Amino acid sequence: MVEAALAAQRSPMSKDSDAIVIGAGAAGITASIKLARTGLAVTILEARDRIGGRIFTLLDPECKAPVEFGAEFIHGRPLEIWNLLNRRKIRITEVDGDTWCVNDGQLGRCDFFSEVDQILEKMDDRKPDQSFLEFLEECCSKSNLGPPQEEAKKWALSYVSGFNAADPTRVGVHWLVKGMRAEGKIEGQRAFRAEHGYTDLIDIFQQQLNDTGVAVQKNTVVENIQWQPGRVQIVARGPKGTTTFSGSHVLITVPLGVLQARFDENAAIRFIPELPEEKQNAINNVVMGKVIRVTLRFRGRFWKDLPRMRKKSGKTMDGMSFLLSHDDWFPTWWTHEKQPFLTGWAPFHCAERLSGQSESFVVEKALQTLHRLLGVSVQELETLFEQAYCHDWQSDPFSRGAYSYGKVGGDGMEEALGRPIENTLFFAGEATDVNGHNGTVHGAIASGERAAAEMLAVLGKGKSSKLKMRSSE
């Protein structure tokens, strides 16, 4: 039936490609460049009007400074990113400064990090897998804890749900341990920024796409993929109507949330026939984390003189880098060096409450949170507030979430998610990374390198059957 459908929709060839890549995020771009450098003709189908996927940077017109809607920090020293930036001599700056906390309404310097590390180091992937919340209740029962340890337990819970955008009742200890080991190898506890934000990386990618002749078709939304071993037909909706791409090998790099969407939802991709059970099981056993973030620009760095009630010799927040709390809306905030920006981070349940709301609602909750945490009146904050930058990744049909994390009992699911099907359908993206770097840009880049190598092993370097495209307008 599939073969007949494919044959019925053939038409004269109007453009040839050796490989089609779905998605122009970090994984899709990386794979496309690697394929094109072997002499293959590559076409990327991208649903958005830009490249980068969940990397999305704008320039604030007032401060002439980058504002990130998606990925912001370079976590550690991953060669996948550092090598690209260093070759272009792009300045990389480490995020430095003080971390402040709000505990029981009191604002002060954080002093719980060593205790939290002690808790996290107790996780053991040699034992049967369990959720982080189960681990926490087991290893840190209230009967064994004094007030400092009980407080550290709360911060450990906040860290896992905040940093990983994860539900602590679902995220697996095995996955967390693997990630911690991977971070240790690249100094992942350190955070860096490129001089112009992630725009620097996107500019490099764009230049490489141009140099290698990769064709990027933006505003092209893939609707269905009809496939059988050695043959694929892709139906996409573009600016000029319906476009059909046919060929033998396709790389799919869309976010996990898009793969998890029902075929009748907006911008979902329908596979005909359905993907094998093993692949569907992998898709359903990796979880898409939720985050809402908002960056607020103020008239000045008003927090530099806070806290207002302090000892004469007490330190101010002028050197603050992060502000941590257990707030129900935006528990984490960070600064942008000397710029008058504060970014609020709302993971997991916080994101669920904010997703789908208007920007004015998000800004209102953000200002109210700063009022509670910093002791500055809402009226004063509203007077100081100038501009907000926000993007709802959960409601974005081309992402449907922030980034992935591993479920309890999900060992091996990332590998299964990235495994090719019949040497015909290939998969990449941060959710398919097998080295513990899920949820990162460098994890996405590494997955693109891996998938390109798999495709080249099947295609043969520079040799393949042609992929064809036609348009029905």
In this prediction, residues 289-311 reach a mean pLDDT of 91
Output the pLDDT for position 14: 35
Is-contact 83 53, C-beta < 8 A? no
Is-contact 18 35, C-beta < 8 A? yes
In this prediction, residues 12-19 reach a mean pLDDT of 57
Task: For residues 295 and 305, give the distance between their C-alpha atoms in angstroms, rounded to a whole number.
Answer: 20
pLDDT in tens, 353-377: 999 999 999 999 999 999 999 999 9
Share of the chain above pLDDT 90, in %: 85
Task: For residues 170 and 405, give the distance between their C-alpha atoms in angstroms, rounded to a whole number.
Answer: 9
How wide is the angle at C-alpha 211 spanned by C-alphas 209 and 215, nearest 5°? 45
Q: How confident is the model at residue 170 (pLDDT cuts 50, 70, 90)?
A: very high
Output the pLDDT for position 5: 41
Task: For residues 152 and 157, give the distance between their C-alpha atoms in angstroms, rounded to a whole number.
Answer: 9
DSSP β-ladder status, 250-252 and 241-247: unpaired
Instruction: Say yes or no to pLDDT of 472 above 50.
Output: no
pLDDT in tens, 311-355: 655 789 999 999 999 999 999 999 998 999 999 999 999 999 999
Classify each residue of 291-324 as buried b or exposed e, where b means 16 or more C-beta atoms within 10 Å of its C-beta. bbbbbbbbeebbbeebbeeeeeeeeebeebbbbb
Output the pLDDT for position 16: 59
- Residue 195 has phi, psi (to 5 degrees) of -55, -45
Output the pLDDT for position 466: 45
Question: What is the Cα 210 distance to its own chain's centre?
Answer: 25
Is-contact 367 387, C-beta < 8 A? no
Which of 111 and 291 is assigned the larger pLDDT?
Answer: 291
Q: Using H for helix, E for strand and C for coil, what is the string for the chain? A: CHHHHHHHCCCCCCEEECEEEECCCHHHHHHHHHHHCCCCCEEEECCCCCCCCCCCEEEECCCCEEEECCCCCEECCCHHHHHHHHHCCCCEEECCCEEEEEECCEEEECCCHHHHHHHHCCCCCCCCCCEHHHHHHHHCCHHHCCHHHHHHHHHHHHHHHHHCCCCCCCEEHHHHHHHHHHHHHCCCCCEEEECCCCHHHHHHHHHHHHHHCCEEECCCEEEEEEEECCEEEEEEEECCEEEEEEECCEEECCCHHHHHCCCCCCCCCEEECCCCHHHHHHHHCEEECCEEEEEEEECCCHHHHCCCCCCCCCCCHHHEEEEECCCCCCCEEEEECCEEEEEEEEECHHHHHHCCCCHHHHHHHHHHHHHHHHCCCHHHHHHHEEEEEEECCCCCCCCCCCCEEEECCCCCHHHHHHCCECCCEEECCHHHCCCCCCCCHHHHHHHHHHHHHHHHHHHCCCCCCCEEEEEEC
Q: How confident is the model at residue 460 (pLDDT cuts 50, 70, 90)?
A: confident
In this prediction, residues 179-190 reach a mean pLDDT of 97
In this prediction, residues 378-406 reach a mean pLDDT of 97
Which of 197 and 5 is assigned the larger pLDDT?
Answer: 197
Instruction: Say yes or no to pLDDT of 163 above 90.
Output: yes
Instruction: Say yes or no to pLDDT of 12 above 50.
Output: no
Provide the mean pLDDT of the chain. 91
Is-contact 325 331, C-beta < 8 A? yes
Output the pLDDT for position 312: 59
Task: For residues 187 and 45, give the distance between their C-alpha atoms in angstroms, rounded to a whole number.
Answer: 35
Is-contact 411 286, C-beta < 8 A? no
The reported pTM is 0.93
Task: For residues 392 and 399, give the distance between their C-alpha atoms in angstroms, rounded to a whole number.
Answer: 10
In this prediction, residues 195-203 reach a mean pLDDT of 98
Task: For residues 252 and 22, give the distance between their C-alpha atoms in angstroms, rounded to a whole number.
Answer: 5
Which of 462 and 153 is assigned the larger pLDDT?
Answer: 153
Output the pLDDT for position 227: 96
From 102-106, 290-294, 390-394, the region with the lowest mean pLDDT:
102-106
Is-contact 210 226, C-beta < 8 A? no
> Is the bond into 229 cis (omega within 30 degrees of 0)?
no
Instruction: Say yes or no to pLDDT of 473 above 50.
Output: no
Output the pLDDT for position 311: 61
**Could you give the C-alpha distances from 204 to 30, 33, 87, 90, in angstroms and in order?**
11, 11, 10, 11
Instruction: Say yes or no to pLDDT of 128 above 90.
Output: yes
Share of the chain above pLDDT 70, in %: 92
Which of 217 and 16 is assigned the larger pLDDT?
Answer: 217
Give 32's contacts (C-beta < 8 A, 6+ positions apart): 19, 21, 42, 44, 209, 212, 214, 452
Instruction: Say yes or no to pLDDT of 469 above 50.
Output: no
Output the pLDDT for position 57: 98
Crossing angle of helices 199-212 and 79-87, in 10° steps, is: 80
Instruction: Say yes or no to pLDDT of 149 above 50.
Output: yes
Task: For residues 239 and 221, give the distance between their C-alpha atoms in angstroms, rounded to a whole number.
Answer: 10
Instruction: Say yes or no to pLDDT of 265 above 50.
Output: yes
In this prediction, residues 252-265 reach a mean pLDDT of 95
Q: How confident is the model at residue 140 (pLDDT cuts 50, 70, 90)?
A: confident
Task: For residues 156 and 148, give the distance between their C-alpha atoms in angstroms, rounded to a whole number.
Answer: 12
pLDDT in tens, 429-455: 999 999 999 999 999 999 999 999 999
Task: For residues 361 and 364, give the distance between their C-alpha atoms in angstroms, rounded to a whole number.
Answer: 5
Output the pLDDT for position 143: 55
Give the CATH H-level superfamily of domain 2-53+199-285+407-472: FAD/NAD(P)-binding domain (3.50.50.60)
Count of positions (residues) in the chain: 473
Task: For residues 183 and 89, give the distance between their C-alpha atoms in angstroms, rounded to a whole number.
Answer: 25
Q: Across 4-13, 115-124, 313-322, which has the greatest mean pLDDT?
A: 115-124
Output the pLDDT for position 248: 86
In this prediction, residues 283-292 reach a mean pLDDT of 96
Domain ranges of the chain: 2-53+199-285+407-472, 112-189
Output the pLDDT for position 13: 32
